[in-house]
Amino acid sequence: MATNDQILLARAHLASARNVTILTGAGISADSGVPTFRGADGLWRNFRAEDIATPEAFERNPRLVWEWYNWRRELIATKQPNPAHDALVKLEQQWADRMWLITQNVDGLHCAAGSQRLSEIHGNIWKVRCTSCGVISENREIPLPILPTCPLCHALLRPHIVWFGESLREEDLRRCNQVIRSCDLLLVIGTSGVVYPAAGFASAAKDIGALVIEINLDSTPKSNLVDLSLQGRAKDLVPLLL
């Protein structure tokens, strides 16, 4: 568990920072009741995310993939932002253009809390994209019909989500590059740090001399690299820090 001294030190670092970038992962939403990907509760019918969140899995069995997304939509629809999401909104209000939030989460809880200076680099579960004409639209139906089709061209719709082996959107990559290169403090909250490109952000920030602080329930592959590793729940530690 994070000690008082660690928390005070982290607060002091934050108080003296000029530009802050924040990277969040499934751990911040775990405190709202959304299962993480690699935790024991992250499995669905014994599938790992790596087996189902791929373009190949969708090509092979779109029905199965849509069933997974319908299950997750149903679950996420019942969840609310928690004090960690709220604290990041306050930070944005205080810091304005000196902060940017990058999330790997697709649950939309940062948006629901009110974050605006935000990149959802892996997409959003409440958006769908046409596999033929590429049109992206917001869609909050639960469950979506299996299989959903595009109102414009009648081709199959897919979740507007970045799957393994797919590139992130150019615009997001550019923004991440810019905010990682320009920050002097990177706060990494609730991610296992194994999925690239986000897994490379902590070392990229260190390379340009930024200070990196991690908040996580457990130690991660990045804990030895960061300047300060605070162990505990995001919903307790993030409000204390900010």
Q: Total number of residues binding ligand BJW (CB under 6 A)?
A: 34
In angstroms, the Cα distances linking 104 to 72, 139, 155, 163, 225 are: 16, 20, 28, 12, 20
- The question of whether 122 is a catalytic residue gets the answer yes
Judged by CB under 5 A, which stretch of 73-81, 105-113, 152-160, 182-190 contacts Zn ion? Answer: 152-160
CB neighbours of 239 closer than 8 A, spacing ≥ 6?
83, 84, 86, 87
- Using an 8 Å Cβ cutoff, are 207 and 41 in contact? no
Least distance CB 63 / ligand BJW (angstroms): 16
Cβ proximity to ligand BJW: between 184 and 227 the closer is: 227
- Residue 155 DSSP symbol: P
Footprint of ligand BJW on residues 16-35 (CB under 6 A)? 25-27, 30-31
Should residue 216 be labelled a site residue for ligand BJW when binding is judged by CB under 6 A? yes
Cβ proximity to Zn ion: between 10 and 130 the closer is: 130
Helix (H) or strand (E) holding 73: helix 62-76
Cβ proximity to ligand BJW: between 37 and 47 the closer is: 37
Should residue 150 be labelled a site residue for Zn ion when binding is judged by CB under 5 A? yes
Name the pairing type of β-strands 185-189 and 228-231.
unpaired
Least distance CB 58 / ligand BJW (angstroms): 11
Instruction: Give the other-Cβ count within 10 Å of 171's Cβ.
Output: 9
Side chain identity at 73, as an amino acid letter? R
Cβ proximity to ligand BJW: between 195 and 204 the closer is: 195
Among 6, 21, 32, 36, binds ligand BJW (CB under 6 A): 36
Joined together, the tokens standing for residue 92 give: 């944005």
- The dihedral over CA atoms of 84, 85, 90, 93, expressed in degrees to the nearest 10, equals 150
Should residue 234 be labelled a site residue for ligand BJW when binding is judged by CB under 6 A? yes
Distance in angstroms (rounded) separating the CA atoms of residues 134 and 151: 12
- Angle between helices 234-241 and 83-95 in degrees, nearest 10: 20
Among 7, 37, 98, 182, binds ligand BJW (CB under 6 A): 37
Which of Zn ion, ligand BJW, none has residue 211 at its interface (CB below 5 to 8 Å by kind)? none
Least distance CB 190 / ligand BJW (angstroms): 4
Contact residues toward ligand BJW (CB under 6 A) are 25-27, 30-31, 36-39, 42, 49, 53, 104, 106, 122, 161-162, 164-167, 190-192, 194-197, 216-218, 220, 233-234
Catalytic residues: 122
